[in-house]
Structure 1
Amino acid sequence: MGKSIESLEEFYRHKLTNVSEGLRKDNDQFNIFSIEENSINGISSPAYIRRNFYKIMLFKGKNIFHYGDKSIPIEGDTLLFFDPKTPYTYDPVEPGSKGWFCVFKQEFFHTSLRINLSDLPLFSIIDHPLFKLKPGEAKEIQSIFEKIIKTIDKDYIYKYELIKSYVSELIYLAMQLHPSEEVFHHPDASSRITAVFSELLERQFPIESKTQRFELRSPKVIADQLSIHVNSLNRAVKNATGLTTTEHIFEKLTAEAKALLKHTNWNIAEISYVLGFEDQAHFNKFFKKQTNISPSIFRQV
């Protein structure tokens, strides 16, 4: 089954072209990038999935950021926080947008912070962790990012300890600010959520071995993967396709069942297992309800 969470290593390998070789060799838990350089290099907006790392961004420009099932417009200097629990993306970066973002794992701070990053309100979808900065605040935040950039290029044995102190300063400064409360439902939100739902569903197929199993087989489980409420998922899929989330799952499940019955020599108990059913009886009941024929008879036709 394909992954629904992007790792920091995959982020480096597939999304970015300007990762320093020095970082790959001596530290795989932290790096910092220029938004302007990524835009020039044609780096696209991130896929709407979860990551296994944290991100702090200073964005200078106008854009719309999407957290879970919410969309938040920004303009000017904005400080943003992203966490591993919530899928996110943003619209394509407009020409002239500038700023920086750093990425790191919780492990990067294990010996420094006395608290878990996941406990901070900054890394919580509930608090919409976007901060519109006043000129003085923007200048102070920018200076910290510039210190990180200057430090990461140094050949200094304690440079990552120094960087940790700068990132900690970003975090604690932000906790004194008031997050932006301007949230709206983007007209393409249903299409975006539906696209991710479809991708998660499709990634699980085809089933090619008896050790593989169809696990994301309910709207609730998929909604949990996207860190959105199941009602939001169901509403988005219904609005975008006219079919319910369950109807899409059952349609894909039935198609895969037919393929396995016709094109493998697995017995029906094995097929019911890989498709995620508790036992063969449940699979038989499901298949007959969907096709008006039992799995054994379908296989013989």
Structure 2
Amino acid sequence: MNNQPDTQTAEANSLELKLKGFKVYEVDLPVSKIHPYTRRDFYKIVLSTGHLVIHYADRSIEMEGTSLFFANPHVPYSVERLTDVQKGISCVFSEEFLKPNDRSESLLQSPLFRIGGTPVFLLNDAQKETITPIFQKMLAEQDTDYAFKGELIRTYINLIIHETLKLQPSEGFVKPQNAASRIATLFLELLERQFPIESPNKPLTLRTAQDYALRLSVHVNHLNRAVKEVTGRPTTAHIAERVISEAKALLQHTDWSISEIAYGLGYDYPTYFNNFFKKMTGTSPKTFRV
């Protein structure tokens, strides 16, 4: 819930987080404009006190008091702060960090993190008194030399998830007036996030407007209308343009075979890729490479 892009980037890419798989830190931020949608590479749980609006997919929710927010790396979000200062504690962790627990996969698929789920919970005084000490213990524990610190932090995260699953999620989500702009922004961010393709063994998974609509938890017709309204171009045009841009880069800057490039871009058969490339560029991949 940081409103400074450089700090957010440092949080997601810090060497410490990559090595340990988790990071816990205090939030004490002055009010600012809306933090724009940015890429997050890790799961995040935030215990926050203040007045804010969380924009999540095509929904927004206004929270005043102490709340819990669960973010997953697959759905961009933004936070608008309405008070002078926001205070709290954030815990950021990777999926790999939580996976040593055999049950962690089901927890990450819970309504707290699941795309289309409800990620925001407003806490009453009793709930705040139950959950706040868990965050405080994580914050203190991460600086110790305890040999099993990671396992203990993992236990605290699971405890927070279980305690939250017993709560009633907030029901104040509304469709904001600028929902079309927000959906279009989410789509374009998610589209860009799919690239670059780093290996033909990890092919592009989101290829159609329907794929993106499912990931963003909106109906495909709703997505198409929003993207066309805001950008003036169809969703499919954006997807095709970005795929062809990546195809050109792979043809020019890698030694992958055309079959490998085709597969990396989600085409099971090179012929389909060749036809697509020629339709978009007027030339074949082989000729373009030469």
Q: Same fold (TM over 0.5)?
A: yes
Once the 2 structures are TM-superposed, how far is the Cα of residue 58 of structure 1 from its aligned partner?
0.7
Q: 1:49 to 1:281 in 2, by over 3 A?
A: closer
Question: In structure 1, what is the equivalent of residue 23 of structure 2?
Answer: 31
Alignment-mate amino acid for residue 120 of structure 2: L
Question: In structure 2, what is the equivalent of residue 132 of structure 1?
Answer: 122
Q: Is the 8 A contact 2:72 2:113 kept in 1?
A: yes
User: Whole-Å Cα distance in 1 between the matches of residues 232 and 166 of structure 2?
Assistant: 45
User: Whole-Å Cα distance in 1 between the matches of residues 244 and 154 of structure 2?
Assistant: 51
Question: In structure 1, what is the equivalent of residue 142 of structure 2?
Answer: 152
Q: Is the 8 A contact 1:49 1:196 kept in 2?
A: no
Once the 2 structures are TM-superposed, how far is the Cα of residue 13 of structure 1 from its aligned partner?
8.4
Alignment-mate amino acid for residue 90 of structure 1: V
Equivalent positions of 1:13-52 (< 5 A) are 14-16=9-11, 23=16, 27-36=19-28, 39=29, 45=35, 47-49=37-39, 51=41
User: Whole-Å Cα distance in 2 between the matches of residues 240 and 103 of structure 1?
Assistant: 33
Question: In structure 1, what is the equivalent of residue 48 of structure 2?
Answer: 59
Question: In structure 1, what is the equivalent of residue 108 of structure 2?
Answer: 118
Question: In structure 2, what is the equivalent of residue 197 of structure 1?
Answer: 187
Question: In structure 1, what is the equivalent of residue 166 of structure 2?
Answer: 176
User: Structure 1: any 5+ residue segments left out of the alignment?
Assistant: 1-10, 264-268
Once the 2 structures are TM-superposed, how far is the Cα of residue 244 of structure 1 from its aligned partner?
2.3
Which of 77, 80, 85 lines up with 1:91 in the alignment?
80
Alignment-mate amino acid for residue 26 of structure 2: S
Q: Secondary structure at the match of 1:55?
A: strand
Once the 2 structures are TM-superposed, how far is the Cα of residue 98 of structure 1 from its aligned partner?
0.8
Which of 236, 240, 244 lines up with 2:234 in the alignment?
244
Once the 2 structures are TM-superposed, how far is the Cα of residue 222 of structure 1 from its aligned partner?
3.5
Q: Secondary structure at the match of 2:48?
A: strand
Q: 1:220 to 1:50 in 2, by over 3 A?
A: farther
Q: Does 1:72 align with 2:61?
A: yes
Question: In structure 2, what is the equivalent of residue 3 of structure 1?
Answer: none
Once the 2 structures are TM-superposed, how far is the Cα of residue 283 of structure 1 from its aligned partner?
5.9
Provide the TM-score with structure 1 as the length reference.
Answer: 0.67
Question: In structure 2, what is the equivalent of residue 266 of structure 1?
Answer: none
User: Whole-Å Cα distance in 1 between the matches of residues 207 and 58 of structure 2?
Assistant: 20
Q: Secondary structure at the match of 2:50?
A: strand
Q: Secondary structure at the match of 1:72?
A: strand
* CA-based RMSD: 4.5
Which of 206, 214, 235 lines up with 2:225 in the alignment?
235
Alignment-mate amino acid for residue 142 of structure 2: I
Q: Is the 8 A contact 2:22 2:91 kept in 1?
A: yes
User: Whole-Å Cα distance in 2 between the matches of residues 17 and 43 of structure 1?
Assistant: 21
Question: In structure 1, what is the equivalent of residue 70 of structure 2?
Answer: 81
Q: Is the 8 A contact 1:254 1:287 kept in 2?
A: no
Q: Identity, % of aligned pairs?
A: 38
User: Whole-Å Cα distance in 1 between the matches of residues 73 and 173 of structure 2?
Assistant: 21
The structure number with the bigger radius of gyration is 1
Q: 1:44 to 1:31 in 2, by over 3 A?
A: farther
Provide the TM-score with structure 2 as the length reference.
Answer: 0.69
Alignment-mate amino acid for residue 29 of structure 1: G
Alignment-mate amino acid for residue 190 of structure 1: A
Q: 1:16 to 1:92 in 2, by over 3 A?
A: farther
Equivalent positions of 1:203-242 (< 5 A) are 217-224=207-214, 226=216, 228-242=218-232
Once the 2 structures are TM-superposed, how far is the Cα of residue 135 of structure 1 from its aligned partner?
1.5
Alignment-mate amino acid for residue 209 of structure 2: P
User: Whole-Å Cα distance in 2 between the matches of residues 151 and 227 of structure 1?
Assistant: 36
Q: Is the 8 A contact 2:112 2:165 kept in 1?
A: yes
User: Whole-Å Cα distance in 2 between the matches of residues 122 and 190 of structure 1?
Assistant: 25
Once the 2 structures are TM-superposed, how far is the Cα of residue 81 of structure 1 from its aligned partner?
1.6
- The number of residues matched between the two structures is 270
Q: 1:235 to 1:148 in 2, by over 3 A?
A: same
Q: Is the 8 A contact 1:64 1:72 kept in 2?
A: yes
Q: Secondary structure at the match of 1:121?
A: coil
Q: Is the 8 A contact 1:66 1:88 kept in 2?
A: yes
Q: Secondary structure at the match of 2:85?
A: coil
User: Whole-Å Cα distance in 1 between the matches of residues 209 and 12 of structure 2?
Assistant: 36
Q: Secondary structure at the match of 2:167?
A: coil
